[in-house]
Amino acid sequence: MKKIATLALTLCCLLLASPSFALFDSKFEAETTKETEAVKLFRDTTAGGYDLVTAAELKKMIDAGKDMLIIDTMPYEDSYKKEHVPGALQFLFPIPDMKGWDDKETGGKSQADFEAMLGPDKDKTIVVYCGFVKCTRSHNGAVWAKKLGYKNVYRFPGGIFGWKGAGFPVGTLK
């Protein structure tokens, strides 16, 4: 009986150590995925002309009472209403690049509606976020704020997942 148990344990160890067993390969695949996401984020940021802010930096800005506008670019009912960064306003943007303004992609809201939300002060700090790093709704929001002439535009790429992951409180609407 002891030989069978030893044989079974040895076979399990060999199976787990086998290159075909995905558990051990996944760390390399995960790193490649992270690298791809990081390069895309860098390229989007460079092309968009905006800056980036981390969850900790955004929280510090909020706690310091910095005069800024925080915009959640996720759908109202499915996301924003359930949880958002406290104080954030909602304005829907699409995931694919929005080269020209498209009211259908922004929940029926116009470019003038977005500009009215941003306000007349082109020097005001604007922070735009969506769900998580791979979500590009925030990229579209930040790009459009820059196109409209706002100078201090930041994208919070971690989004609500990064915010919650940092252990920060969320706002909700009933």
- % the chain with pLDDT above 90: 70
- Mean pLDDT, rounded, for 159-171: 95
How many structural domains compose the chain? 1
Please check whether residue 92 lies inside any domain of the structure: yes
- Given a cut of 80, whether residue 14 has pLDDT beyond it is no
Domain containing 66 — which CATH number? 3.40.250.10
Per-residue DSSP letters for 40-85?
A: HHHHHHHHHT-EE--HHHHHHHHHTT--EEEEE-S-IIIIITT-B-
Please check whether residue 42 lies inside any domain of the structure: no
Please check whether residue 131 lies inside any domain of the structure: yes
Domain span including residue 73: 50-165
Please check whether residue 172 lies inside any domain of the structure: no
Minimum mean pLDDT among 15-24, 27-36, 140-149, 159-168: which range? 15-24
**pLDDT band, residue 75 (cuts 50/70/90):** very high
User: What is the distance between the terminal CA atoms of the chain, rounded to a whole angstrom?
Assistant: 62
- Given a cut of 70, whether residue 1 has pLDDT beyond it is no
Between CA 95 and CA 166 the distance in angstroms is 24
| Greater pLDDT, 153 or 9 | 153
Between CA 160 and CA 39 the distance in angstroms is 21
Please check whether residue 95 lies inside any domain of the structure: yes
C-alpha atoms less than 13 angstroms from C-alpha of 143 in its C-beta half-sphere: 20
Please check whether residue 76 lies inside any domain of the structure: yes
- % the chain with pLDDT above 70: 86
Question: pLDDT tens-digit profile of 99-137?
Answer: 999 999 999 999 999 999 999 999 999 999 999 888 899
Please check whether residue 29 lies inside any domain of the structure: no
Single pTM value for the model:
0.82
Please check whether residue 130 lies inside any domain of the structure: yes
Between CA 54 and CA 169 the distance in angstroms is 15
- Given a cut of 70, whether residue 84 has pLDDT beyond it is yes
